[in-house]
């Protein structure tokens, strides 16, 4: 009896199972059936040979153009050189001591060839590739299709895998599988066919009523449609069904987690009408935007519930996230709790502390002569804090006199103890790992509320919002007095554009304003630069600074800022820049967050194609922070028909951080929702693409909520429960809980 848990050794024999395990990490029948075709070959269709990558194993469909036999130096052996084509490009196949292939590989024959792509004298080639003739009558007689596979190191002889090889490859669609050096695509296909022919009826993890409601085939039928399709429609239906398995099991895991979180009692932080928040609102010199009021109301409602808040605040740089966060913190302090703001760098933490003190005024000076009656204390904790200052700060946090705490990773240390931690706010949350955020949340006597803030969500955050595990609030309006930033891509090949770029900086400085020039690296390559000697040189701070001082920006006050400078020197340079004593700051991404100079209006990003979408969006948020218009100029040597140029053009086309995050997701993929990628396991999303399948994922959430509400333990769904246990191991469950 063969089921999905049957070891491949039982089905295929020891040698075949070992090859599949070593080459493709396939161990059971279920693993094999989940190893889905990468694409499908149709009769008359050839592989685009231009897509081959040197060093990768590939399976191609191509037509034989010519064949020639050449004697080897020994004189007793010979070499076959076969040239195949896709109609546009040629590929050389070299066979050593396989003269018997002359009979099969005649000009005009179309076949599948599998092997490692190599380069020889500037041309790509395959050496001793596996061969499978695509014509049904040839396939039956092809030595490389059965016995030939055994000779070349594929799985065992055809007798071990069953008959019907020719029939399998005579289908309208030929599946092309991810392969390995000793396991070509058609070998996988034969193994899959044997597994499907041997498999007993399987318990379906999707309930029958759900399948009927969503018009989905049974699991075994879905496997057949994907592996042995009669049409493209079969493939689509089978993949949709298997995508539902992925989506439902993840949504069930998240639905059960939400139920567990809701069962955790936390402290309601509903504030009071005559407290700090009311006093702060009355002192504001400006009116809140409509978005700030709306998001504030949603957060206030969350804080008033006895269930931990788990909310993402996404807002453009300069949209007023800090004011929203401060109002939430004051509501918690009014309720007798403490609030902490976690920042990724000391510069940003110090800036937040100064900004909060300035906004609160006397309300932040409890115990001081000019402090307001209902004032609290703002305390900063960073790694560079002196011993005495640290002791005083930790004492104020422990006894509760510091209601508002700002800090970096230093807050995660064990000696930081809170009197009553009620709210954790994580700024620029993409800079913190799941474990780090969880370490701070665990400091509360009851689970604290959590608010994460970002200008551009990272792919995993987008994944969690699509899956419905983060409540999302967005700020889209710019407060009064803020100017939009105009972004342009500047091609390095057009000299006049580069001249205008530097001219823009000189014009802005002449008007009394300031500028940034951002480089990808510091220079004098250290390990942190991550330099690939094969790549074209990139702009560095140490090289660009003297060039600008002696050339394009001669006569201006130009200084540099980067991570290798001592922290005191960095602070001095930033203070001089903020005071207007420096015209142009040549820097690395140390200015990405935590730098607020309203007088800076223009930014040039050199080799902009070396930066990610999120980084570019964060960087340009450093300009246009005052009333004057902001400019961001993305300088690149990338060609206009490349993905790099298209990425930069997309950044230039929109200032919508959420839209850019989705673009980032399309290019980088979503990471692993259950943490397997972080822990070294398989991705939990094999078929699902979050943006493409967003509708399916949301429908799966509806079904998962229905299932979990009716049967939280899934007692009536044993097959779904088993699948969930397979996907959600102990490590993934812990990651999900912390995430």
Does pLDDT of 151 surpass 50? Answer: no
Does pLDDT of 204 surpass 70? Answer: yes
Sort 451 into a burial class: Cβ within 10 Å, 0-12 / 13-18 / 19+. buried
Residue 169 near residue 141 (C-beta atoms within 8 A): no
Higher per-residue confidence, 622 vs 331: 331
384-419 pLDDT, tens digit each: 888 999 999 999 999 999 999 999 888 888 888 999
pLDDT of residue 462: 56
Distance of alpha carbon 17 from alpha carbon 80, whole angstroms: 32
259-268 pLDDT, tens digit each: 877 777 788 8
Does pLDDT of 581 surpass 60? Answer: yes
Mean pLDDT over all residues of the chain? 82
Longest alpha-carbon distance in the chain: 102
Mean pLDDT on 162-186: 65
Q: What contacts 372, CB < 8 A, 6 or more positions away? A: 279, 361, 362, 363, 365
Q: How many CB atoms lie within 10 A of CB 69?
A: 11
Distance of alpha carbon 78 from alpha carbon 72, whole angstroms: 5
Alpha helix (H) residue ranges in 511-640: 541-550, 567-578, 613-620
Structure tokens at 500: 């205008």
Residues 640, 643, 649, 654: what is their CA dihedral angle, to the nearest 10 degrees?
A: 170
DSSP element (H, E) containing 1: none
Distance of alpha carbon 704 from alpha carbon 627, whole angstroms: 49
Write b or e for each residue in 171-187: b if 16 or more Cβ atoms lie within 10 A of its Cβ, otherwise e.
bebbbbbebbebbbbbb
Q: What contacts 390, CB < 8 A, 6 or more positions away? A: 381
Backbone dihedral angles phi then psi of residue 593, each to the nearest 5 degrees: -130, 155
The neighbouring-strand residues paired with 100 are none
Nearest to 106 by CA among 53, 68, 51: 68
Domains of the chain (ranges, CATH numbers): 8-63+100-200 (no CATH), 289-475 (3.40.50.300), 485-654 (3.40.50.300)
Alpha helix (H) residue ranges in 41-175: 136-141, 147-151, 158-161, 165-168
17-47 pLDDT, tens digit each: 999 999 999 999 999 999 999 888 775 567 7
Q: CA angle at residue 565 from 559 to 571, to 5 degrees?
A: 70
Q: Which of 202-211, 358-367, 669-678 has the lowest mean pLDDT?
A: 669-678
Residue 251 near residue 700 (C-beta atoms within 8 A): yes
Residue 319 near residue 476 (C-beta atoms within 8 A): yes
Residue 606 near residue 544 (C-beta atoms within 8 A): yes
β pairing state of 485-491 and 630-636: parallel
Residue 197 near residue 165 (C-beta atoms within 8 A): no
Task: Give percent above pLDDT 70 in the chain.
Answer: 81
Give the pLDDT band (50/70/90) at residue 429. low
Mean pLDDT on 478-502: 85
Strand order in the sheet with 421-427: 378-381, 404-407, 338-342, 421-427, 449-454, 310-315, 471-475
Does pLDDT of 457 surpass 80? Answer: no
Distance of alpha carbon 291 from alpha carbon 625, whole angstroms: 19
3-class DSSP state of 84: strand
Mean pLDDT on 63-71: 89
Strands (E) across 299-351 are located at 310-315, 338-342
Give the pLDDT band (50/70/90) at residue 533. very low
Residue 452 near residue 476 (C-beta atoms within 8 A): no
Q: How many CB atoms lie within 10 A of CB 67?
A: 19
Sort 91 into a burial class: Cβ within 10 Å, 0-12 / 13-18 / 19+. buried
pLDDT of residue 74: 66
Residue 668 near residue 675 (C-beta atoms within 8 A): no
Distance of alpha carbon 248 from alpha carbon 31, whole angstroms: 19
pLDDT of residue 626: 81
The CA distances from residue 309 to 294, 420, 430, 461, 471, in Å, are 16, 16, 19, 16, 9
Residue 623 near residue 516 (C-beta atoms within 8 A): yes
Q: How many CB atoms lie within 10 A of CB 297?
A: 11
The CA distances from residue 375 to 174, 275, 403, in Å, are 73, 9, 9
pLDDT of residue 119: 87
Does pLDDT of 301 surpass 50? Answer: yes
Does pLDDT of 585 surpass 80? Answer: yes
- CA-atom Rg of the chain in angstroms: 31
Does pLDDT of 615 surpass 80? Answer: yes
pLDDT of residue 138: 37
Residue 382 near residue 349 (C-beta atoms within 8 A): yes
Residues 662, 441, 380, 296: what is their CA dihedral angle, to the nearest 10 degrees?
A: 60
DSSP element (H, E) containing 690: none
Mean pLDDT on 51-66: 85
Residue 553 near residue 584 (C-beta atoms within 8 A): yes
Distance of alpha carbon 303 from alpha carbon 293, whole angstroms: 15
213-239 pLDDT, tens digit each: 999 999 999 999 999 998 999 999 999
- Residue 419 CA, chain-centre distance (Å), reads 37
Nearest to 324 by CA among 346, 347, 349, 302: 302
Residues comprising the chain, all counted:
739
Structure tokens at 203: 């318990």
Give the pLDDT band (50/70/90) at residue 612. confident
Distance of alpha carbon 406 from alpha carbon 404, whole angstroms: 7
In terms of average pLDDT, the best of 566-570, 595-599, 711-715 is: 711-715
β pairing state of 378-381 and 485-491: unpaired
Give the pLDDT band (50/70/90) at residue 470. low
- Residue 345 CA, chain-centre distance (Å), reads 22
Backbone dihedral angles phi then psi of residue 486, each to the nearest 5 degrees: -90, 130
Distance of alpha carbon 239 from alpha carbon 224, whole angstroms: 11
The beta-carbon contacts of 538-541 under 8 Å, at least 24 apart in sequence, are: 538/607, 538/610, 539/606, 539/607, 541/586, 541/587, 541/588
Query: 């200015």: which residue's tokens?
Result: 591
């Amino acid at each position: 009896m063969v089921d999905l848990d049957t070891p491949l050794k039982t089905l295929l024999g020891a040698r075949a199972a070992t090859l599949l395990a070593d080459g493709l990490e396939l161990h059971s029948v279920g693993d094999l059936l989940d190893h889905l075709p990468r694409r499908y070959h149709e009769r008359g269709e050839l592989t685009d040979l231009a897509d081959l990558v040197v060093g990768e194993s590939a399976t191609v469909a191509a037509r034989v153009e010519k064949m020639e036999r050449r004697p080897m130096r020994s004189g007793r052996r010979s070499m076959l050189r076969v040239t195949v084509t896709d109609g546009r490009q040629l590929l050389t196949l070299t066979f050593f001591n396989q003269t018997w292939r002359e009979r099969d590989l005649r000009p005009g024959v179309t076949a599948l060839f599998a092997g490692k792509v190599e380069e020889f004298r500037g041309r790509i080639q395959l050496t001793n590739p596996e061969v499978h003739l695509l014509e049904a009558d040839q396939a039956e007689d092809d030595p490389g299709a059965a016995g030939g596979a055994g000779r070349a190191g594929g799985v065992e002889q055809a007798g071990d895998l069953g008959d019907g090889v020719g029939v399998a490859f005579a289908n309208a669609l030929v599946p092309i599988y991810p392969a390995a050096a000793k396991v070509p695509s058609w070998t996988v296909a034969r193994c899959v066919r044997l597994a499907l022919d041997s498999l007993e009826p399987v318990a379906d993890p999707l309930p029958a009523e759900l399948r009927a409601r969503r018009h989905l085939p049974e699991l075994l039928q879905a496997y057949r449609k994907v592996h042995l399709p009669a049409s493209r429609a079969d493939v689509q239906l089978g993949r949709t069904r298997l995508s539902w398995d992925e989506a439902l099991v993840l949504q069930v895991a998240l639905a059960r987690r939400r139920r567990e979180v809701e069962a955790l009692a936390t402290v309601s932080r509903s504030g009071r009408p005559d407290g700090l928040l009311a006093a702060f609102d009355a002192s504001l010199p400006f009116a809140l935007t409509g978005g700030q009021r709306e998001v504030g109301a949603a957060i206030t409602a969350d804080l008033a519930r006895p269930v931990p808040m788990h909310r993402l605040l996404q807002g453009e740089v300069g949209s007023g996230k800090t004011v929203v966060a401060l109002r939430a913190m004051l509501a918690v302090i009014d309720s007798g709790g403490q609030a902490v703001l976690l920042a990724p760098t000391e510069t940003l933490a110090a800036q937040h502390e100064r900004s909060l003190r300035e906004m609160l005024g006397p309300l932040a000076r409890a115990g001081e002569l000019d402090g307001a009656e209902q004032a609290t204390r703002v305390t900063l904790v960073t790694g560079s804090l002196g011993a005495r200052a640290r002791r005083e700060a930790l004492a104020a946090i422990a006894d509760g006199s510091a209601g508002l705490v700002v800090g970096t990773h230093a807050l995660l240390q064990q000696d930081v103890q809170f009197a009553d931690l009620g709210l954790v706010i994580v700024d620029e949350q993409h800079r913190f790992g799941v474990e780090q955020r969880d370490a701070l949340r665990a400091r509360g006597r009851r689970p604290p509320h959590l608010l994460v803030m970002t200008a551009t969500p990272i792919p995993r955050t987008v994944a969690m919002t699509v899956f419905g595990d983060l409540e999302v609030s967005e700020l889209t309006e710019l407060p009064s007095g803020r100017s939009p930033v105009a972004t342009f891509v500047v091609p390095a090949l057009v000299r006049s554009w580069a001249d205008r770029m530097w001219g823009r900086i000189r014009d802005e400085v002449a008007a009394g304003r300031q500028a940034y020039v951002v480089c990808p690296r510091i220079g004098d390559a250290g390990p942190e630069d991550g330099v690939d000697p094969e790549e074209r040189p990139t702009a560095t701070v140490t090289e660009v600074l003297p060039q600008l001082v002696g050339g394009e920006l001669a006569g201006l006050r130009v200084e540099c800022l980067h991570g290798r400078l001592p922290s005191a020197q960095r602070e001095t340079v930033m203070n001089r820049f903020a005071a207007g004593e420096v015209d142009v700051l040549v820097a690395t991404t140390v200015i990405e967050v935590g730098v607020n100079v309203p007088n800076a209006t223009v930014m040039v990003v050199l080799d902009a194609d070396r930066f990610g979408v999120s980084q570019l969006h964060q960087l340009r948020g450093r300009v246009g922070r005052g009333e004057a218009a902001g400019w961001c100029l993305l300088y690149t040597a990338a060609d206009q028909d490349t993905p790099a140029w298209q990425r930069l053009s997309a950044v230039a086309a929109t200032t919508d951080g959420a839209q850019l995050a989705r673009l980032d997701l399309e290019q980088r993929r979503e990471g692993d929702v259950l943490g397997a990628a972080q822990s070294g396991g398989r991705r939990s999303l094999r078929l699902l693409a979050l943006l493409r399948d967003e509708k399916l994922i949301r429908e799966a959430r509806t079904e998962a909520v229905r299932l979990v509400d009716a049967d939280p333990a899934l007692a009536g769904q044993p097959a779904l429960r088993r699948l969930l246990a397979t996907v959600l191991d102990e490590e993934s469950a812990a990651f999900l809980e912390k995430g």
